[in-house]
A = this chain, B = another copy of it.
């Protein structure tokens, strides 16, 4: 298989623009240098724009899950009651992290394929005083985008902190951290930001910093207070992935040149084309269409066909990588990611290959 020609259509990692690949290959710099301080400053400002926040932005050398751990351990203490609202695999993960670090987790689970129901969340919040509510913005495993703004509104009325996993949607789907009152938001580099994996981004509201003062969960590598102190002098507490910061600078310049709202619109357009294309092939989409994600589409293979047969055909014959289901959806659904560098030509190539794969599968059954 020729890596150059591989078209990556999974919900992250995504393909890398040439500007990003060039930036990755730049010579090393010292991480306690003026050159790095300037790079960190530009990247931090750019990520604040992507998050639509004026709160603090901390950039961690870790993949998104490391950012989730930071979002839990910096703001909570063992025994703190938290409400984990789960609509899929990643909703499970953030609640699981809270539990492992000692939070008293109450689960509010929705059927996979549904979005979180705002009134059910309101009811749950009314029954108990929670320190925080945890949920995903975009649930990659089910291709569902939660009603983030409404969920945050419900939480803020009770005083609970809103801790949001926006790893797979940030940059591709509208998020307005400040306007929507989100306290702690996490994103990852390998999604709509068009970077390799390895950086996590965490925004922290003033209210969350006040909670951090009393938060007793142990943390060292992911200590955000320390990250904030070092950021004040243009550094990170521990050696940052300097190459990825160069790449982040390049990708942010691309995003700013396109315009963030234009990026959201491009993702929406790609999603609409994929959904329409899938349905035209007679395939059944998975999940509540009202909350369908703009960065990933989930659907069922033709009846009686193993999803693996479709994805293998697309990889082996067309060098296009799509993926199957996760967790309880393994072996059931297929997922096409359309984020980051995605454009209409990538979408067309993918849908064309999918059509062939479906036809072959139908032939196989005939």
Given A62-B62, A63-B61; A198-B243 close (CB under 8 Å): yes
The answer to whether A239 has its CB under 8 Å from any CB of chain B is yes
The answer to whether A118 has its CB under 8 Å from any CB of chain B is no
Interface residues of A in 8-63 (CB under 8 A from B): 8, 10, 12-16, 21-22, 24-33, 35, 61-63
Taking the closest CB of chain B, its distance from the CB of A76, in whole angstroms, is 12
Contacts of A31 in B (CB 8 A): 13, 197
Judge whether A28 and B1 touch: CB under 8 Å: no
The answer to whether A309 has its CB under 8 Å from any CB of chain B is no
Given A62-B62, A63-B241, A240-B197; A220-B27 close (CB under 8 Å): no
The answer to whether A64 has its CB under 8 Å from any CB of chain B is yes
The answer to whether A242 has its CB under 8 Å from any CB of chain B is yes
Stretch at the interface among A93-101, A123-131, A293-301: A93-101
Judge whether B102 and A63 touch: CB under 8 Å: no
Contacts of A12 in B (CB 8 A): 239
Given A196-B241, A220-B69, A220-B97; A4-B27 close (CB under 8 Å): yes
Judge whether A10 and B30 touch: CB under 8 Å: yes
Judge whether A241 and B197 touch: CB under 8 Å: yes
Contacts of A100 in B (CB 8 A): 218-220
Contacts of A13 in B (CB 8 A): 28-31, 239, 242
Chain A 210-245 interface mask (CB, 8 Å, partner B; 1/0): 000000011111100000000000000111111110
Interface size classification for chain A: 35 or more
Judge whether B10 and A26 touch: CB under 8 Å: no
The answer to whether A321 has its CB under 8 Å from any CB of chain B is yes
Contacts of A24 in B (CB 8 A): 24-25, 243
The answer to whether A65 has its CB under 8 Å from any CB of chain B is yes
Judge whether B196 and A242 touch: CB under 8 Å: yes
The answer to whether A66 has its CB under 8 Å from any CB of chain B is yes
Interface residues of A in 56-100 (CB under 8 A from B): 61-66, 68-69, 96-97, 100
Contacts of A61 in B (CB 8 A): 61-63, 66, 197-198
Among A3, A12, A241, A321, find the residue whose CB has the most chain B CB atoms closer than 10 A.
A241
Judge whether B6 and A197 touch: CB under 8 Å: no
* A35 nearest in chain B by CB position: B1
* A24 nearest in chain B by CB position: B24
Query: Which of B28, B217, B238 touches A16 (beta carbons < 8 Å)?
Result: B28
Given A65-B238, A100-B218; A3-B196 close (CB under 8 Å): no
The answer to whether A323 has its CB under 8 Å from any CB of chain B is yes
A217 vs B188: C-alpha distance when bound (angstroms): 26
Using CB atoms and an 8 Å cutoff, list the residues of chain A in contact with chain B. 1, 3-4, 6, 8, 10, 12-16, 21-22, 24-33, 35, 61-66, 68-69, 96-97, 100-102, 188, 190, 196-198, 217-222, 237-244, 321, 323
